[in-house]
Structure 1
Amino acid sequence: MAGRAAEPEVIWARRERTGRGPRPAYTRADIAAAAVRIADAEGLDAVSMRRVAAELGCGTMSLYNYVPRKEDLHELMVDAVGGEHELWEPGGDWRADMLRVAHQTRALMHRHPWLPRLMSPVYGFSPNSLRFVEHCLACLDPLPVSYGTRMELIAMLNAVVTMYVGNELATAERTRALPWSEEQENAVRAAYVGGRLASGAYPRLAAGITENPGPVDMEEVFERMLGRVLDGFDPGD
């Protein structure tokens, strides 16, 4: 298969372009930027080697000289947008710093809605990812736990944010596809659920909804969720 490496390799360990010949016309940054533009505008499924080559104005087969596999292209994309993370001097309050990291990650995923689909430990050690993890570990310097536990905290927080944003994006996509307003949809569903609860068949659920009648503030939910994750790593709790 064209572009398929004969054995495992890491894109970052490769030279920018294999083989002899003139100076490369494109850099990995050029290729990643083109792929990100396409994904941002049309979604991840629109990204292909052929489409990126057309965006750059080169032949598809020549692109394989720079990026041998589509998986490598995805890794370049993840690393490119990872460079948008702001890395600040930690303030000494590990909880505040990690909350800032989580909010920044959420904003990044909303800017690039395709990103949650590509979040994977496989892509977790690209150049920008390494800088991001090192920054997070610096933020966690005041936390009196092992480095292994700190790595687990970073991974868990990232997973929770990815899951939360993925749900936000899916809900927004479904809402956009409705042939009626979101308010109409919610009203119909609330009426149905209200009728089921009134039957007395779900007393615990009815009690829970009575205690939290809504509307739900999703920003507050996000804050509580992050706080509970961090609570689990706080040795003072």
Structure 2
Amino acid sequence: MAAHGRPAGPEVIWSRPERSGRGPRPAHSRAEIAAAAVRVADAEGIDAASMRRVAAEIGCGTMSLYNYVPRKEDLYELMVDAVCAEYDLSAPPSGDWRADMLGLARQARAIMHRHPWLPRLLSPAHGFSPNALRYLEHCLAVLESLDADTGTRLEVISMVNGIVTAYVDTELSMAERDRTSPFPPGAEQAARSAYVARVLAEGRHPRLAAAYERAPWPLDMDAQFERAVNRVLASFERESGGGGAGDGSGRSGEGTQVS
């Protein structure tokens, strides 16, 4: 073991015991450290959640924090795992895998909005923490009613998570643009829309003009999200030749507000 508790080589923090069987109880727990980092990132952004800042938040020295969290990457791992605990996985699979996966997608979207830094940290590297594994196990239980092999079921999970992350990332970018704009909310988007309308009125882009004229405005982001996820799920249902209870569409919740 290197200085300040840092491992000599690559090590997954979950394979390292939080506390050895001997000696005094540590002054701080991983849960406490993760909660402090999440609080800082929620309030000020992920870049503010430095080792120094998190150490100050829990009341210890920066070098002391390295005894608990050897690397910044490990701190991120703790943070992602902490917010993964927010999934409500208490209900057993209903047998309608599409409806259940849509429900999980809605939860994921809500979690990312509560923690806007999360899409930036999501990667396969953070997919195997205790709470992430709990989530994956639940998803695989949900997908047992999909007539497909395990690889395809894992692909469903990956694609749903990917589309939720991309969708929320766009929503957060739009919100950040409004937040930092010197103009009233929506003013810049209205100016862009007016510009596009003027260009399309010139007649050089007839197909785009027709599509733009028929497009609903303002966009219903909730309904658009539901459609996007449902289309991904429907593609897997078609490949499997069906599967799931009822029509498996999960359409009963389309357009509902995410809590």
Which interval holds the TM-score relative to the shorter structure? over 0.9
Secondary structure in 2 matching 1:86? coil
Contact 1:102/1:161 (CA < 8 Å) preserved in 2? Answer: yes
Output the CA distance in 2 between the equivalents of 1:160 and 1:123. 17
Q: Can you give the 5+ residue segments of structure 1 that lack an aligned partner in the other structure?
A: none
Is 1:117 aligned to 2:120, yes or no? yes
Name the structure 1 match of 2:249.
Answer: none
How far does the alpha carbon of each residue in 1:86-118 deviate from its partner, in whole angstroms, 9 at most, with x for none?
A: 002111110110000000000001111111111
Structure 1 residue corresponding to 2:153, chosen from 150, 154, 170: 150
Output the CA distance in 2 between the equivalents of 1:90 and 1:107. 20
> Which amino acid letter does the alignment assign opposite residue 12 of structure 2?
V
Output the CA distance in 1 between the equivalents of 2:186 and 2:14. 48
Q: Can you give the 5+ residue segments of structure 2 that lack an aligned partner in the other structure?
A: 243-259
Contact 2:140/2:153 (CA < 8 Å) preserved in 1? Answer: yes
Is 1:233 aligned to 2:245, yes or no? no
Name the structure 1 match of 2:68.
Answer: 66
Name the structure 1 match of 2:41.
Answer: 39
Distance 1:194 1:114, change over 3 A: same
Shift of 1:207: 1.6
Name the structure 2 match of 1:82.
Answer: 84
How far does the alpha carbon of each residue in 1:109-153 deviate from its partner, in whole angstroms, 9 at most, with x for none?
A: 111111111101001000000000000111111100001100000
Contact 2:109/2:165 (CA < 8 Å) preserved in 1? Answer: yes
Structure 1 residue corresponding to 2:176, chosen from 158, 173, 178: 173
Contact 1:32/1:77 (CA < 8 Å) preserved in 2? Answer: yes
Output the CA distance in 1 between the equivalents of 2:26 and 2:59. 14
Output the CA distance in 1 between the equivalents of 2:229 and 2:216. 22
Output the CA distance in 2 between the equivalents of 1:180 and 1:2. 51
Contact 1:53/1:63 (CA < 8 Å) preserved in 2? Answer: yes
Larger mean Cα displacement after TM superposition, 16-25 or 95-104: 16-25
Shift of 1:17: 4.7
Shift of 1:186: 3.2
Structure 1 residue corresponding to 2:100, chosen from 97, 101, 123: 97
Q: What is the alpha-carbon root mean square deviation over aligned residues?
A: 1.8
Distance 1:183 1:31, change over 3 A: closer
> Which amino acid letter does the alignment assign opposite residue 124 of structure 2?
P
Secondary structure in 2 matching 1:182? coil
> Which amino acid letter does the alignment assign opposite residue 100 of structure 2?
D
Larger mean Cα displacement after TM superposition, 2-11 or 224-233: 2-11
Q: What's the % identity of the aligned pairs?
A: 64
Output the CA distance in 2 between the equivalents of 1:186 and 1:29. 41
> Which amino acid letter does the alignment assign opposite residue 33 of structure 2?
I
Shift of 1:13: 0.4
Contact 1:5/1:69 (CA < 8 Å) preserved in 2? Answer: no
Output the CA distance in 1 between the equivalents of 2:186 and 2:58. 43
Contact 2:94/2:100 (CA < 8 Å) preserved in 1? Answer: yes
Contact 2:38/2:79 (CA < 8 Å) preserved in 1? Answer: yes
Is 1:195 aligned to 2:185, yes or no? no
How far does the alpha carbon of each residue in 1:144-201 deviate from its partner, in whole angstroms, 9 at most, with x for none?
A: 0001100000011001000100110110010011112234323322221111101122
Runs of 4+ in 1 over 4 A off after TM superposition: 1-4, 17-21
How far does the alpha carbon of each residue in 1:46-95 deviate from its partner, in whole angstroms, 9 at most, with x for none?
A: 00111111111111111111110000000000001101110021111101
Is 1:11 aligned to 2:13, yes or no? yes
Larger mean Cα displacement after TM superposition, 131-140 or 15-24: 15-24
Name the structure 2 match of 1:25.
Answer: 27
Shift of 1:22: 2.8
Contact 1:153/1:233 (CA < 8 Å) preserved in 2? Answer: yes
Secondary structure in 2 matching 1:58? coil
Contact 2:178/2:186 (CA < 8 Å) preserved in 1? Answer: no
